[in-house]
């Protein structure tokens, strides 16, 4: 048990920060809307991993697990709405570049 706890204490913060950094880099460097949405989802998974790890360190897993379930439900709704909007973007701009979205003003 002690070996597992020390392994988790070492790698979980690095893994969650790595997921946050990868998602942020994806959002800042990619020009296609769908790739930015994937980067946003990667960032959220890193934040949720960090939340569960903080709960594990403090010995209270019930609260973080409840927050994670709520966040996953919200993430699913946001992703579904974003994908619906991305479908509309691809109808008018098949390349799906973020720079072309200025012409969608109504």
- Domain spans of the chain? 2-104
User: Taking CA 15 as the corner, what is the angle to CA 14 and CA 20, rounded to the nearest 5 degrees?
Assistant: 95
Residue 95: what are its φ and ψ, rounded to 5°? Answer: -70, -30
- pTM exceeds 0.85: no
The matching CATH number, chosen from 1.10.287.3510, 1.10.240.10, 1.10.10.10, 1.20.1250.20, for 2-104 is 1.10.287.3510
Contact (CB, 8 A) for 47 and 63: no
Run means of pLDDT, 10 residues per run, the chain, 106 residues = 67 92 95 92 94 90 93 95 89 83 70
What pLDDT does residue 62 have?
Answer: 93
- Calpha distance 36→51 (Å, rounded): 23
């Amino acid at each position: 048990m002690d070996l597992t706890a020390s392994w988790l204490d070492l790698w979980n913060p690095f893994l969650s920060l790595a997921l946050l950094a990868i998602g942020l880099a994806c959002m800042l460097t990619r020009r296609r809307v769908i790739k930015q949405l994937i980067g946003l989802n990667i960032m959220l998974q890193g934040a949720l991993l960090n939340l569960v790890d903080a709960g594990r360190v403090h010995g209270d897993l019930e609260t973080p697990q409840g927050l994670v379930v709520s966040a996953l439900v919200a993430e699913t709704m946001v992703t579904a709405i974003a994908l619906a909007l991305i479908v509309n973007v691809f109808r008018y701009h098949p390349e799906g570049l973020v720079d072309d979205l200025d012409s969608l003003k109504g």
